[in-house]
Structure 1
Amino acid sequence: MRHTHLAGALALAAMSAMAAGAAAQETVVRIGHSGPLSGAQAFSGKDNENGARLAVEELNAKPVTIGGKKLRFELVSEDDQGDPKAGVNVAQKLADGGVRYVVGPYNSGVAIPASRVYANAGVVVASVASNPKLTQQGYKNLFRVNASDTQLGSRMALYAAKELKIKTVAVIDDRTAFGQGLAEEFKRAARAAGMTVAGHEYTTDKAVDFTSILTKLRPKNVEAIFFGGYAPQGGPMARQIRQLGIKAKLLGGDTICTAEMGKLGGDAVGANVLCSQGGALLDKAASGPGFKAKFKKRFNAEPDVYAASYYDAVHLFAQAMQQTSSVEPAKVGAAISAGSYQGVAGTYAFDAKGDMKASPVTIYTFKGGQPSALTSY
């Protein structure tokens, strides 16, 4: 009887040794994701997370090896609720947990304060948050993988002036770091392009009723209203513009360039709504259709605004790890700063601040509730 126990124990020991050997041949790289996974913007947070998840799964299937060891990527996704305080807590949690690579935060208001925590912990961050202040803080290893508000707001203004021949506009912003920054950039570029800014009103990113500010703008007879804010407000705003009989077009940035805008705004969201989004057209990008097909197959949904950018960001990290034969954040960050990565949504090459050297902007309108690209501008 004792012999069988011994044989069993030996077999177990051998299996443990094999498992330990396999583990020794593997380096785990945890990729953090911080985004709004609950609340009104959860659709964006989940879409972004799915983009990162698809990349992680692909890298693990490849697999990637460094120094004879296989890298096993793990996605650690946290809900920052689109809230600055929660976002700083998430950053601290990820940093304390040893996560050294992060995609997100999505919201500028979250990314700006959270970036200090990440910088202090030596974390490499790739964010789509577009407020120019994010990269003006001087943090190393912080990369904006998207156009900034300067590009999104100013290109929308140029398109409105040159292509739509709009002369008078009004501006509404939601007072978030993102909305305010975007609205100011639009206003500056609109005036430079010869447009009159006839009014600037303020709301919040929790509001649903915009009748009082729209009623204030109505007698100004503006041809367009630019909204610095997100789709959960943009959709109802489009409905209320129509209900009040205001003929103005509704313009905005990337955060209203989403199917959610059509869902919330119904038939009040059509050719009357225009928005600017960073990146070239996915359909026109060489690997765009392939990415869309993979994403659809895996998640049974179309990728929304930034899924491709998050997917690219994870691959950007992995390419730099291979180039440096290291998972050390300082080495990997330096390689990203100095190098270039050809992704689905664009070519990622960064200036000294961590902004993309070239980020095309695409102007969209809506057809059948879905964003429909007009032109890259």
Structure 2
Amino acid sequence: MPHFLYRTTLASAVLLACAGTALAQEQVVKIGHSGPLSGPNTFAGRDNDNGVRLAVEELNARKIKVGGKTLKFEVVSEDDQCDAKTGVAVAQKFVDTGVRYVMGPYCSGVTIPASRVYDNGGTLVSTVGTNPKITQAGYKNLFRIVASDVQAGANMATYAAKDLKAKKVAVIDDRTAFGQGLADEFAREAQKLGLAVVGREFTTDKATDFMAILTNIKAKQPDAIFYGGYAPQAAPMARQIKQLGINAKLLGGDTLCSPEMPKLGGDAVDGAVYCAYAGMLVDGDAGAKTFQDKFKQRYGQAPDVYGPFYYDQVMNLGQAMEKAGSTDPNKVGAWLHQHPYKGVMGEYAYDDKGNRVKAPVVVMTFEGGKAKPLASY
């Protein structure tokens, strides 16, 4: 062999050996994200994805070691379109490709069927799906990282009765697992508190014209209208409530706390929309405010409703792997059940079914196009 070829071959071998050693000292941990990256809820899916990615960047900078290897976190994001069939296909793809940690799904109607696939595949799931059925299935490695419909719906009913002094309420839902579940909980608690539910109407999560059902409701003269659904429908609904001259507040869950509401609803939103945000007050907490500034610097905009929760839970997972000394979802899941974590959005502690215990809920309205906190529960 010519001398220069020998030296080239030797140099290549050394480089390969070094690369092999580096890889041997590193362990890749894939963090999947399942959410709506297209369609009317794209803004929420992108925000959630940003929360995941920001946490992964920070975890990689920390160079966490488990079993002598440095963990390298990688984000794998898939568009489930808030569609059950698509979400199940995404779940199967994640399971088949060795993704053992998934953030999402965003929509309860996707989470309910997809969680069975994840459980069968040994994947740990952290969802913001709020329908109570999600955690009733008994999957040991499924965690709800926000308040459930039971908490949000009940607190909104309490606020309507005690603070808004409402006597009569109408209820609309979009027939999704999220919207219907939330509306059911609100109606149930409202009746317990002595409020009269004077109308129950239904729409879809694709609708934009609510004039017919709002005209029916107007005749019943409710003090408040509760909507179980998402911001892309709630915003035009608020405009049409104003257009029809209905003297009633529009109430809803945390999806109505989105910055998209004033963007889409304009002046029909200010002082007229009230929402139950499953989080804590950002401006009243130094850590949360720091996170918000960091997020804005990284992505050029403030976080939406759920981005901070996704960030918190990914950071929680990283710490759990380090403390448990394992990347095995069963061991990490056991750690999450046994040890609370203090994040941007408060303390994360879970009951035996994976519900977040003592999840904070803040009732908010809008003033000058910005969310304004009114009461916390």
TM-score under structure 1 length normalisation: 0.99
- Partner of 2:310, secondary structure, is helix
Structure 2: which amino acid aligns with 1:140? K
Residue 181 (structure 1) aligns with: 181
For 1:53-64, what aligned pairs fall within 5 Å after superposition?
53-64=53-64
Question: Once structures 1 and 2 are overlaid, which stretch shifts more, 200-209 or 278-287?
Answer: 278-287
- How far the C-alpha of 1:369 sits from its partner, in A, is 2.1
Contact 1:341 1:349 in 2 (8 A): yes
Instruction: Name the SS of the counterpart of 1:220 in structure 2.
Output: coil
1:113 partner amino acid: P
Report if aligned partners of 1:286, 1:344 keep a CA contact under 8 Å in 2.
no
The 5 A counterparts of 1:122-137 are 122-137=122-137
Q: Are 1:230 and 2:230 matched, yes or no?
A: yes
* Identical aligned residues as a percent: 59
Looking at structure 2, the residues matched to 263 and 289 of structure 1 have their Cα atoms a distance apart, in angstroms, of: 22
RMSD: 0.9
Q: Secondary structure at the match of 1:281?
A: coil
Amino acid at match of 1:259: P
Residue type of the alignment partner of 2:321 = M
Paired residue type of 2:101:
Y
Give 1:342-361 correspondences, 5 Å limit. Answer: 342-361=342-361
CA displacement, residues 310-342 of structure 1 (integer Å, 9 cap, x when unaligned): 001101111111111000111111111111111
1:284, distance to aligned residue in structure 2 (A)? 2.0
Letter in 2 for 1:347: E
Q: Which amino acid aligns with 2:29?
A: V
Which amino acid in structure 1 is aligned with residue 265 of structure 2? G
Alignment of 1:277-292 (within 5 A): 277-292=277-292
Q: Report the counterpart of residue 139 of structure 1 in structure 2.
A: 139
Structure 1 counterpart SS, 2:219? helix
By how many angstroms is 1:286 displaced?
Answer: 4.0
Q: The residue matched to 1:276 in structure 2 has which SS?
A: strand
Total equivalences in the alignment: 377
Aligned residue number for residue 113 of structure 2: 113
* 3-state SS in 2 of match to 1:200: strand
Give the match's secondary structure for 1:95.
Answer: helix
Residue segments in structure 2 that go unaligned for 5+ positions in a row: none
Residue 2 in 1 paired to residue 7 in 2? Answer: no
Q: Structure 1 unaligned runs (5+)?
A: none
Distance 2:369 2:105 in 1: 27
The whole-number CA distance in structure 1 between the counterparts of 2:364 and 2:205 is 22
User: Are residues 1:30 and 2:30 paired?
Assistant: yes
Structural mapping, 1:209-224, within 5 Å = 209-224=209-224
Asked if the contact 1:173/1:227 (under 8 Å) is kept, the reply is: yes
1:2 Cα deviation after fit: 1.9
What is the CA–CA distance in structure 2 between the aligned matches of 1:284 and 1:37, rounded to whole Å?
Answer: 31
Residue 370 of structure 1, CA deviation: 2.4
Alignment of 1:305-320 (within 5 A): 305-320=305-320
Supply the distance in 2 between the matched residues of 1:215 and 1:268 (Cα, whole angstroms). Answer: 17
1:323 and 1:141 mapped to 2: Cα distance? Answer: 17
Task: Look up the equivalent residue of 1:372 and give its one-letter code.
Answer: K
> What one-letter code is carried by the residue in structure 2 that aligns with 1:155?
N
SS where residue 32 of structure 1 aligns?
strand
Q: Distance in 2 between matches of 1:334 and 1:152?
A: 27
For the residue of structure 1 that corresponds to 2:146, the secondary structure is coil
TM-score calculated relative to the size of structure 2: 0.99
Q: Which amino acid aligns with 2:188?
A: R
Query: Mean alpha-carbon deviation: is it higher for 274-283 or for 144-153?
Result: 274-283
